[in-house]
Structure formats: C-alpha cells, structure tokens
Amino acid sequence: ISSSSTDNDATTGDIISVTIGATVPTGFEHTAAEEVKEKIGVDARISKDRGRIYFPITTDKLFQVHLLRSVDNLFVVVEEYDNYQFKESKEETLMELQELASKLPWTNALEVWKLNRTFKKKKGYRKGGNGTKGKPKSEAAGATVADTEQQELPQATSTVENQTEESVPEAESDTQDSVEAAPRAILIKFRVTCNRAGDKHSFSSNEAARDFGGAVQEFFQWKADMTKFDIEVLLNIHNVEVVIGIALTEESLHRRNISHFGPTTLRSTLCYGMLRLCKPQPSDIILDPMCGTGAIPLEGAIEFNSSFYIAGDNYDMAVNRTVNNICHIQKRRADKGSISGLPIDTVRWDLCSLPMRTSSVDIIITDMPFGKRMGSRKKNWDLYPSCLREMARVCRPGSGKAVLLTQDKKCFSKAISRMGGLWRKLHTVWVNVGGLHAGVYLLKRTEAVFGQTPEDVYESREVVNSNILSIHVLPVTE
C-alpha cells in the first residue's frame, strides 16, 4: 500500500500531499489523534505498532505539525506496506530490501525534507538523531540501530556545525527533475535507522539497516555518516508492517520546556497527554503537589492557559528547578515579544499537610514516586494513602478530578481501595515511562464530605499555624 505522496515531478514551492508519521507516548495514541484533528483538521490513523500515528497533510501545513504538543518525533512517509511478504531465508529478504531502495517514490519525501530544513534553521535545532541513544555502530552504508522506546531523560547533543549549514545552499528552490538530480548536486550525508519489532524475522535490525542503507547509498551516491548526517532514513518494521520514511526532527519535541532537568523529569508530551485526560476548564485551579521540575504545570500553563497552576514540592532543589524552568520560559516568551506572564506559582510544602483550604482545588495532576529512581516501594505504602487522603481533602467534592501517574500499581490499587468513599476510578491509560510499564489513573472526587466516610478511618490532621508559617512561596517573576 503506497503512501499518499506520489512522484509527479514535484517542485519546491508547490503544495504537495504527503503522509506524516509521528511517534507519541505509548498509550496516548488516541489523545495525539484528537490533537491532530483539532489543530490540523485531518483524521489520524493509529498504527498497529503502539506509539505511532499517521496522518495526511499538505506541505503548507508542515509548520503547524511542528507545533503539535503530543508528538515526540516526526517523519515523512516515503512508502508503507501493511502486509509485507518477507522471504523465508535471511539472504533473500536482505537482497529484496536492497532492491527495494531503487523502487521507492523518494521525490516528494525529499521535497518535504528540504522544506523542513528551512524551519529547522530558523528554530536553531540541535543535531542529535531521531530517538537513537548511545553511540551508533559504524556499519557500512550508514546503518545504525535505534532503540524502539524513548527515554524521558535528556541526552547530550551537539550544535550543527558550519559544514552542515553549508551542505544546503541557497539554490534549494531549484526544480528537482528526477529523484537523483537534487541529491547529486551537493554532498549529502545520511544514515539509516532501523526500528524492528516482532520475533518472526530471519534478520536482525542491524542487518536490515546495513543492507538497505548500502542500497540507498549506491542509488543516491550519498555519503554515510553516523553522527553529522543531513538525512536520516527510517526503516520501521513491526511484524509484517513496513514503513520507510525520512526523519523531520533531529531530537524529540518533548524537550521543549525544561532547561533544568531533574533525575526523573517527565516528558512534555506525556504531560500534555495527562492534561488532556483531565480536560482543564477556564478558571480551574490545578495542583501538582509533587512537581519535581515543574514539567506538568509548565505544560499546562503554556497550552491550557485559562487555568491557574500551583506547583509544589518538599525538596528544595526540585522547587528551585521549577522556578528556574518557569523563568526560562518567561524570558523566552519575553524575547519573542510576549508581555503576559504564565498562570503558575511555586510553593515548598509538605505533601501530607498542604497549606490549602478544604475543597478549593478543581484538578490534581502529578507524577507520583515509582520507588525506582526516587523514593522506595516500602515508603510508598505509607506515602500513597496519606497523599491520596490529603488530595481528597483539598479537591472539590463531586466535580474534582485527579490524574495520577505511577508504576507502583499494586500499592496504588491498595491505597485507592482503602478510601473508596472519597475517590472513584474512572479510567486507566497504560504508558511506557523510560522502559517502565506505568499507569495514568483518572480519578473522580465523590460527593462524600471529607472526614465523614466509613472508609476514612485515618485521623485527620489540622494544619497548625507553625506549618503555615514554614511554607515558603517563591517568586517566579524576574
């Protein structure tokens, strides 16, 4: 099955119809599809391979695609096959992949890549590869193998060198009369990245990338380069589904907000998915009681800015990181001419004794400690019930909601069952967070009055004046 792009002697400047592929946080594919429909106006197709969506666009909408909040990496589809018939032997399969390179309709995808370069120059993108971690293996023909899961921690990237800028001259707008014409006019550096899932393949990801990459190199006469590449060709194989594409992002879009990272910083794309799940309304008071670096409230303050966000933590360094991240975003907005501040404030507090009035918060949304890199699973058995009870106290009965992310599913389920009179579980989204299988739980605050339910056997604690005085509200304006 071919992609929507066709080889009709496309010319740079013409409006071309192509299919865009996007990697998204696993579990939030439908959320990403909803955003595409809302902002681009087209229907997205969810791939059989979890964590990917596809949607058609015309090239005049390409800039809008880069503004999507739910996607990690973008690529333009060269060709896709829903039911690719792999040969039984490894040698035959690899030979077929080599032959495939010269048969693909590259023209429109390369035009989109050239147009995309102009956006990246303006935005000052950094060179880092499309979701590939660690040092790539130097294989013949620029082949490299990428992990299929994205990590939420930042990776070191280097800036684009002068050589790379010079590789795309001002004559970019020349007509591309044939597939080979434009690439041969300049020295293009490339690599092939293979993402493969499925246990019935006779070949490895490295072998597929190596042989397919060799054929691409021979066809275009491009130069293989593992790190300073201009084009990254993607070979995505999921069981019998094969998609060939060209990467449009060199580092994940999820690194858009955070400048001061912590040990467990949540990806902005995952934060956006959690926020959409709770559907913030204008004038809502939204609380993140364990904000860490402030990733969730920052994403909300930027994208859902009719609500007000309170970010708090009991760890001084975390609160300082949040303040620094807020200041960084505000300075960036001021440099672009925006005079409005962000609807967000930062507080240092005790999670189990929040300095908030009872029934004063509309939405609570937070990334709870997994007990892996932060905290411990043993401590979670005391922490989870205490914080869920305090959250129930400050959340509005009947209308309040909570969206909570945790990997400690057993402890969380037990804690919820102990206070069924205060919280009701509506929905669970299973997600991948740095290789860990975690759940995003959407809870509804019941009508029950705090402290008067049969399940609420915990002796409620009053916030004494000394606790209130110990709270330090930190300014976020410069």
Q: What does pTM read for this prediction?
A: 0.78
Q: What percent of the chain has pLDDT over 90?
A: 58
Under DSSP, the state recorded for 419 is T
pLDDT of residue 48: 77
pLDDT of residue 375: 52
pLDDT tens, position by position, 461-476? 433 333 433 444 455 5
pLDDT tens, position by position, 447-456? 998 877 665 5
Q: How far apart are CA 432 and CA 429, in angstroms?
A: 10
- Residue 75's nearest CA partner among 193, 207, 163 is 193
Instruction: Tell me what the mean pLDDT of segment 433-441 comes to.
Output: 90
| Average pLDDT along the chain | 80
How far from each other are the two terminal CA atoms of the chain, in whole angstroms? 55
| Domains assigned to the chain | 17-255 (3.30.2130.30), 268-474 (3.40.50.150)
pLDDT tens, position by position, 151-196? 332 333 333 333 333 333 333 333 334 444 444 457 899 999 999 9
Beta-bridge partner residues of 20: 55, 76
Instruction: Tell me what the mean pLDDT of segment 265-270 comes to.
Output: 88
What is the phi-psi region of residue 184: left when phi exceeds 0, alpha when psi lies from -120 to 50, beta otherwise?
Answer: alpha
Under DSSP, the state recorded for 160 is P
Instruction: Tell me what the mean pLDDT of segment 411-434 comes to.
Output: 90
248-280: string of b/e by CB count within 10 Å (b at 16+)?
A: bbbbbbbbebbebbbebbbbbbbbbbbbbbbeb
pLDDT of residue 46: 94
Structure tokens at 446: 């019941």
Q: How far apart are CA 396 and CA 446, in angstroms?
A: 9
Instruction: Tell me what the mean pLDDT of segment 39-51 comes to.
Output: 91
Q: What percent of the chain has pLDDT over 70?
A: 73
Instruction: Tell me what the mean pLDDT of segment 104-124 comes to.
Output: 84
Local confidence band at 265 (pLDDT 50, 70, 90 cut-offs):
confident
Counted residue by residue, the chain has a size of 478
Q: How far apart are CA 317 and CA 325, in angstroms?
A: 12
Local confidence band at 356 (pLDDT 50, 70, 90 cut-offs):
very high
Range from 254-258, 447-451, 455-459 that averages highest in pLDDT = 447-451
